[in-house]
Amino acid sequence: MEEKILSKFLSSIGRCARRSQSELIEGLRKIESERIKQAEAEMIDVARKIIQSELTVVKSRISREISARGVLARKRVFAKKKEVEQKIFDECEIKIKEFVNSKSYPERLKNNCEIIFKFLGDAPRVYVRKEDLIYSDIIQNVIKNAEILAEEKIKLGGIVGKKNGTVVDETFDSALSAFFSYC
């Protein structure tokens, strides 16, 4: 009988130990599962922060690249614009030089003299290209008592009048320069 009691006691202790062991294992599994979930959440959070940081860096780099490309494109457009402007400027100079060597130029010079006379009256100083000194009689017919001088700065033609601090510039040089500085 003692053996039976002992056997039942041992059996009862074994069941209790197995139940305790099962509960302990189940508890450890729950703790382990919670820790794994917590570690996963932390890893996901860290990964999200790293991705956000990298995304910010990539966006910033892309933004800089787009900006640099835009600047480069604007520089190319500006250079092309300058090139076209210079070509047009050069063509205008050629056309003006052709005009000042034509039969129509003296009439234009006379019209410019009339404008100068309108603003300055008689006896101003007038400046023309050295080549235009041959038109002195036209100038004197419109602007009485004008002092006519050659001016090296006038390359394309026309006339500049000065009197009492007032300057009237009717040169092709100034007109062309003003037009292209306006553009």
pLDDT score of 178 more than 90: no
How big is the CA angle at 15 (ends 9 and 20), to the nearest 5 degrees?
A: 125
Q: What is the pLDDT of residues 92-148, one digit of tens each?
A: 999 999 999 999 999 999 999 999 999 999 999 999 999 999 999 999 999 999 999
Q: What is the pLDDT of residues 59-103, one digit of tens each?
A: 999 999 999 999 999 999 999 988 998 898 899 999 999 999 999
* Burial state string for 44-68 with b = 16 or more CB within 10 A and e = fewer than 16: eeeeeeeeeeeeeeeeeeeeeeeee
Q: What are the residues facing 125 on neighbouring strands?
A: 147, 162
Q: H or E segment at 150?
A: strand 147-150
Whether the model pTM is above 0.85 = no
Complete DSSP assignment for 116-134: HHHHH-SS-EEEE-GGGGG
